[in-house]
Amino acid sequence: MYTETTQTLRLSGSADTKEGAFNKIFSQIKHVVARQTNDLVVRIEPIGLEVVSATETVRQERLFGLFFPRKRTRYDITVDMQVRLGVVQVENISFHQQTEQTAGALQFVRQR
């Protein structure tokens, strides 16, 4: 019923700081794993990280093309992350079916 598996995910994130780009990557893990599996994921543990590509883009901006020059930096990171998943296989659980009959309108009126 409970099993552990290992998966490799390719994730990417971009932000104005290096830490922000990694935070976007780590915030995607749960959603990507949930899309890829039909079972109930109870534990996600990152066990390895390999940077596939890391790009720093610097551009200079000016107000109205003339005033107040400033440099803007953007970091784009793509990683392959190995995660260990603790998974409960819901298909293997046998449920016992129980039926209940709701009270009719007449019984509801008598109770008042």
Q: How many Å separate Cα 34 from the centre of its chain?
A: 7
The two tokens of residue 80 are 């392959």
Tens of pLDDT, residue by residue over 13-54, are 999 999 999 999 999 999 999 999 888 899 999 999 999 999
pLDDT of the residue at 10:
95
Global pTM value: 0.72
Query: E strands along 34-112, which residues?
Result: 40-63, 67-88
Average pLDDT over residues 62-86: 91
